[in-house]
């Protein structure tokens, strides 16, 4: 049995958010996921990547087949925000996380070794 792993690494710039969304949508389509779920996924990925960007971090997304789901994980350094970056972040990390959770209830946040990992599961039919 094998499973797929897809990694995306982008520079720390908001202009790349569209590429991160396209990447996530392409992974979803790879697993024949379509329609509204893909739109939800694009929102969740965008929110998670903004967390990384406001911490001044490159965008790192890992999509991995896990059983009957695809796990999407976005990594950011813990507490790395500068004042300037916080100013960019009007809505705040907790609200963004709630938005991700409302779209994908199986969302977790893990902090270890100075980095924060937001992970959520896209169920496969």
Partner 1 sequence: MRRSPERAFAFKESPTVELRLDNREEGDWTVLDVVGEVDLSTAPLLRARIEELLHLGAQRLVVDLRGVGFMDSSGLSVLVACMKQMREAGGELAIACPNDSILKVFTVTGLDRLFTIRPSVGEAIRT
| Footprint of partner 1 (CB under 8 A) | 1-11, 13-19, 21, 23, 36, 39-40, 42-43, 46-47, 50, 53, 88, 90-91, 95-96, 98-99, 102-103
Q: How far is the CB of 111 from partner 1 (least distance, A)?
A: 21
Q: Which two tokens stand for residue 35?
A: 């329609």
Nearest Cα residue to 125 out of 71, 73, 69, 42: 69
The CA distance from 23 to 85, in Å, is 25
Q: Which is nearer to partner 1, 5 or 123 (CB)?
A: 5
Nearest Cα residue to 104 out of 28, 43, 20: 43
């Amino acid at each position: 049995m094998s499973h797929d792993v897809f990694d995306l690494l982008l520079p720390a710039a908001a202009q790349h958010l569209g590429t991160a969304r396209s990447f996530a949508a392409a992974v979803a389509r790879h697993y024949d996921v379509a329609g509204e779920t893909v739109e939800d996924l694009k929102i969740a990925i965008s929110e998670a990547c903004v967390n990384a960007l406001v911490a001044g971090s490159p965008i790192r997304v890992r999509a991995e087949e896990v059983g009957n789901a695809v796990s999407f994980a976005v990594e950011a350094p813990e507490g790395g925000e500068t004042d300037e970056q916080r100013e960019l972040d009007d809505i705040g990390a907790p609200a963004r996380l709630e938005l991700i959770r409302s779209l994908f209830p199986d969302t977790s946040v893990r902090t270890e070794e100075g980095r924060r990992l937001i992970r959520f599961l896209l169920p496969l039919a």
